[in-house]
Amino acid sequence: MTYSEFIKKYARHPHYKAPRGNVLNAKSWQAEAPLRMLLNNLDEEVAEDPEHLIVYGGTGQAARNKASVLKMIEMLLELEEDQSLLVQSGKPVGIIPTHTRAPRVLIANSNLVPEWANWEHFNQLKEKDLIMYGQMTAGSWIYIGSQGILQGTYETFAACGEKYFNGDLKHKLLVSGGLGGMGGAQPLAATIAGATFLGADVNPARIEKRLQTRYIDKMTYSYEEARDWALEAKEMEMPVSIGLVSDIGDLLEKLLKDGIIPDVVTDQTSAHDPLHGYIPDGFSLAEAEKLRKNNPVLYKEKSLKSMARHVGFMLEMQSKGSITFDYGNNLREFAKQGGEPDAFNYKGFVPEFIRPQFCEGKGPFRWAALSGEPDDIFETDRALIEHFPDNKKMISWIQQAQEKVAFQGLPSRICWLGMGEREKAGLIFNQLVKNGKLKAPVVIGRDHLDCGSVASPYRETEGMIDGSDAISDWPLLNLLANTSSGATWVSFHHGGGVGMGYSQHAGMVLLVDGSENAEENIKRVLRNDPALGVIRHADAGYEKAEEVAHKFSLKI
C-alpha cells in the first residue's frame, strides 16, 4: 500500500482509523504500534473532537495540526528499527539514529521553562502554532476512551465506600460535574461501585456519547426529572446513572435549595483550563465560545468566579454532611483565585483514597489489541483470571468490565496492578502472542496518573509526608528509566490533568510481540516503571513502600 493509499484509507481528516489485523504497514511492529495508536487516539469513537485533533480534556491533542499528523504517519511508515522519531509538542521534528532497543518514538509535550509555565504564555505560543497541550495520554498516544480512567475512578469510589460507608455505596447518591473524556467514566464507575449517580455537563453531546457507549443510563434537560430519578433510584438501591444537561453549579445550588444533600460530592469538569476548558455559569456553549474569542481576559475572570461559586456549593454540602473530595482537575486552586478563600478545605482523591496503593507500586495498567479483535482482549482477560487467582478485586473488575464496558476504537482493557504483577502480566501476554493465541501483538501502557510518574502537588503528589509534593525529579527519573529499559515509546509532558504550571509527568508504552526481545524488555520496563513509584514513596518515608521495596530488593 502506498503512502497516499494509506492516508485515503486510514487518515482522511477528520476521519481517522487504526489499521487492524497482523499485516504490517510500517517496516516493523515497533513502528506499526505507535502508528496504530496515534490513529486510534484520533478515531471518532475515541476522541472528543477529531476535527481539531482533540482527544479529551477540552484541549488535549494527539498532534499539533493536520500537517503534523500526515508527516508523522509518513515518517512512521518509513522508520527503521535502529531509528527514533522525535516529536515536539505534536509535531515531528526529526529522525535520529539510535539502536534496536531504543524507543522508536521520543515525545515531549507542552514543556515550558518554569518562569513561563502558565496558560498565558502557552496560549501565545499556541497562537503561533509552536506548541500544543498533550494532556496525559492524548499526546502520548495511549488513550483508550473512557475505560482508561474507568477503573481508577471505580477504585476511588469503592475506596470512598469502604472508608466512609461501611464497605460500599449502596443507597448512596453521588453527584459530580463533567462528563467528557475523563469525567465520562464517573457514571459507570459509580454504578459498578453500587451508587446512584447524578452528573451535570453543559455540553449535551458529551452525555449523548456516554449513552452510546453505555457509560450512562439516562439523560435529561430537566432538573426536576433528574432529581426525581435520582431520589427514586437511591431509595430503591438501584445503581442508576443520570446525566443532566446543566451547569454543575446550578445543579448543586438547586439541590441545596431543595434540601437534598448528596452522600458524596466531587467534580471532573475541565477545570484545569479556565479559558478553553471550563464554561462559566450563565453561558451557553455558543455564548462562551464568542466571549472566549472576543474577550479572553473577561472570559477567564468569569470562569474563575464560576469556579469559586461551584466550590462554594461543594463546601456547603460538605458542611451539611457530604463526603467531598477533589478529583484532580485544579478546581480548588482556580476557585481560590476566583475568590473562594476556603477552596482547599476538602482533600484531593489521592491522599484520601489512593496513596496506599501507590506505595505498593499499583496503578493503571492498560493494554490494547493491535489486531482490532475483541477476542484478543477476552483471551488476555482469561489469562489474568487464571494466573492471578488470589487477586479477587481484579477478577471482579474484569468480569464486570466484560459485561458493562463498550470498546472504543481498538479493543482494550485496563486493570490496576502493582509491583511484580505488571511484569508477570506482560510475560503472560507475550507468551499468548508467541503461541498464536492472540491474532496480533498488543501494546501495554498506562495513564500518566501512576505511582511514580507524576509530580502534581494538587493531585498525585498532594500532601506527601515529607513535603516533597513539587519535586519533579521523580517523573524525570521515570522517563529515563523507561527509555533505558527498552520501552517502545516514551513521553514527558507538562500540565496534564491540572493545567500549565501545576504538573510534570512521564508516559511509556511497550510493544508485546511474542519475541525474545519483547520478553527481555518486559522484564526491565514492567519492573522498573512501578519500581519508581515504590522507591519514590519509600524515600518519602511511607512504611508500606519501604516494606515493598525490601520485598523486591529495591536499593534505597
Measure the N-to-C terminal CA separation of the chain; round to a whole number of Å. Answer: 52
The three cell numbers locating residue 502: 501545576
Residue of 160, 359, 415, 451 marked active site? 415
Count of positions (residues) in the chain: 556
- C-alpha closest to that of 444 among 504, 553, 364: 364
3-state class (DSSP) for residue 214:
coil
SS (H, E, C) 413-456: EEEEECCCHHHHHHHHHHHHHHCCCCCCCEEEEECCCCCCCEEC
The 3-state DSSP class for residue 135 equals coil
Percent of the chain as helix, strand, coil, to the nearest 5: 45, 15, 40
SS3 282: coil
**Dist CA 410 CA 407 (whole Å):** 7
CB 161 within 8 A of CB 169: yes
Distance in angstroms (rounded) separating the CA atoms of residues 55 and 62:
6
Is 477:118 a contact under the CB 8 Å cutoff? Answer: no
- What single letter denotes the amino acid at residue 332? R
List the helix and strand counts (H, then E) for the chain.
Answer: 20, 19
Q: State the residue for C-alpha cell 461501611.
A: 166
Q: DSSP H helical segments within 198-354, as ranges?
A: 204-212, 223-235, 248-257, 285-294, 296-319, 331-337, 349
Q: Residue 504 forms beta bridges with which residues? A: 455, 494
Which phi and psi (to 5°) does residue 27 adopt?
-85, -10
Q: Is 415 a catalytic residue?
A: yes
Q: Are 495 and 133 in contact (CB under 8 A)?
A: yes
- Do residues 242 and 220 lie in contact, with contact meaning Cβ atoms separated by under 8 Å? yes
For 200, the enclosing helix (H) or strand (E) is: strand 196-201
Q: Which residues, 6 or more positions from 435, have their beta carbon under 8 angstroms from its beta carbon?
A: 514
The secondary structure element, H or E, covering residue 218 is strand 218-220
The residues with which 291 forms a beta bridge, in sequence order, are none
Residue 440, CA distances (Å) to 39, 384, 512, 516 in order: 17, 18, 9, 16
- Bridge partners (DSSP) of residue 493 are 109, 505
Instruction: Tell me the C-alpha distance between 160 and 197, whole Å.
Output: 14
Do residues 169 and 262 make contact, with C-beta atoms less than 8 angstroms apart?
no
Q: Which residues pair with 84 in a beta bridge?
A: 96
Beta-carbon count within 10 A of 289 CB:
13
* Active centre residues (catalytic): 415
